[in-house]
Structure 1
């Protein structure tokens, strides 16, 4: 188990490093969940690659995807079995690992490689079908009950495997201390509640924050850039 966690951390660190080096040219083949799905439907047998870890893939993945990443010992053999004359569709939890894999395929002669912008968070968030082992997470009815029972609700949506999502947690703890019972905080993870994330049809990537006041959305934000400042401003108006 420790070895698995070490590999996941190493993979996330590598993807973060590569993502930081991404330039505008790399982004030309990043496409939305809707276009990703549309292009897949046009293929007789789509080549879909889930570039996450085996542990993540086992919990949830795009239907029809095959799991492989740059750290796999069998990666080279896997690539040899792909058809370089057909499109390849790659995704991960965000864009880091998928971008790295797409770059590598490009160096190997694959001309048409598409990266799912926003990763599996965008896919599930837009309501696209997904394989999942989740049995019973927070339901939409339960979610709406929480919104109806609290004046101000802050919802944090992400995944336990998402590096950026982990950086949201200290911010939430800080807000709990600052606002106490005046602020209801709800944390939702892909591994537990994919159906709810899909039902909301608003998540574009992980992490994703929604702030409600009296049941109405007052703020939606993806990512962690300037998150604390944005939330402080929004909460000053909501509370």
Structure 2
């Protein structure tokens, strides 16, 4: 009985904290499964892609509208939203989503959810999305490269991702250091979205995966100390 009361009390506390947070106009970051579940629970979900129009045109969550704080018609878009219903926001990382969510909170929107990992998490988790292009790289081609080379380093990201750009000089350094011993594949969302979706293991950009004889040695969600990690992994084999 005490255990039951404790569980009930904890549930009640979480519930009232959630209500209090949203009543103050704050947003909540959700992982993919929780975000997706809440979206699917709405008949006409209010989904906002807070990226730029060029990014949105290439790929986006089906049913999303595209605007952010820098959009010329921002006020028009906000007025079209229902502040009494949940709003779901994503971008490529958290920056633009966070700014938009904060402004909606100030305007009285009480339920604002941000997708942790943004579009990378959505597509990388295999959820349905719109794309206006065909992937340059297919999953069978990807698997063939991984299986036919002893060491393969895969860089998965986007040209619109700031952190992803810092990976490029590191990859060039690794190419110079290891030559043919290390095969490096660079996969960008703007070129091969379907293979990212088919992998179903991408949560953020960049994602780095090192294979040896077709098996994963390590998978990094984010850059970290990539050069040292690769050197350490290859030196021990």
TM range (shorter): 0.7 to 0.9
Partners of 2:84 and 2:139 in 1: how far apart?
43
User: Helix, strand or coil for the counterpart of 2:186?
Assistant: strand
Structure-to-structure mapping, 1:177-188, within 5 angstroms: 177-188=176-187
- Indicate if the aligned counterparts of 2:152 and 2:184 stay in contact, CA closer than 8 A: yes
Partners of 2:141 and 2:233 in 1: how far apart?
25
CA-to-partner distance for each residue in 1:75-94, whole Å, 9 max, x for gaps? Answer: 12211111110000000011
Q: Partner residue of 1:107?
A: 106
Shift of 1:147: 1.1
Structure-to-structure mapping, 1:212-231, within 5 angstroms: 212-231=211-230
User: Helix, strand or coil for the counterpart of 1:61?
Assistant: strand
Shift of 1:27: 9.5
Q: Give the 3 Å change call, closer, same or farther, for CA 235–97 of structure 1 in structure 2.
A: farther
- Indicate if the aligned counterparts of 2:92 and 2:161 stay in contact, CA closer than 8 A: yes
Partners of 1:101 and 1:191 in 2: how far apart?
24
1:85 aligns with 2:103: no
- Indicate if the aligned counterparts of 2:27 and 2:101 stay in contact, CA closer than 8 A: no
Q: Partner residue of 2:45?
A: 46
Q: Pick the structure with greater CA Rg.
A: 2
Partners of 2:86 and 2:135 in 1: how far apart?
36
Structure-to-structure mapping, 1:8-19, within 5 angstroms: none
Aligned residue pairs total 213
User: Helix, strand or coil for the counterpart of 1:195?
Assistant: helix
Partners of 1:205 and 1:231 in 2: how far apart?
19
Shift of 1:195: 1.1
Q: Partner residue of 1:148?
A: 147
User: Helix, strand or coil for the counterpart of 2:169?
Assistant: helix
Partners of 1:136 and 1:112 in 2: how far apart?
35
- Indicate if the aligned counterparts of 2:26 and 2:112 stay in contact, CA closer than 8 A: no
Partners of 1:87 and 1:221 in 2: how far apart?
32
> Structure 1 stretch 129-138 or stretch 177-186: which is displaced more?
129-138
Q: Partner residue of 1:23?
A: none
Give the gaps of 5 or more residues in structure 1.
1-25
Give the gaps of 5 or more residues in structure 2.
1-24
CA-to-partner distance for each residue in 1:47-96, whole Å, 9 max, x for gaps? Answer: 00000000000000000000001101111221111111000000001111
CA-to-partner distance for each residue in 1:176-209, whole Å, 9 max, x for gaps? Answer: 0110100000000111111111111111100000
Q: Partner residue of 1:159?
A: 158
The runs of 4+ residues in structure 1 deviating greater than 3 Å are: none
Partners of 1:27 and 1:137 in 2: how far apart?
40
Normalising by structure 2, report the TM-score.
0.87
Partners of 1:125 and 1:177 in 2: how far apart?
30
Partners of 2:146 and 2:236 in 1: how far apart?
18
CA-to-partner distance for each residue in 1:204-233, whole Å, 9 max, x for gaps? Answer: 100000000000001000112323222322
User: Helix, strand or coil for the counterpart of 1:156?
Assistant: strand
CA-to-partner distance for each residue in 1:90-132, whole Å, 9 max, x for gaps? Answer: 0001111111111111111111100000000010111001100
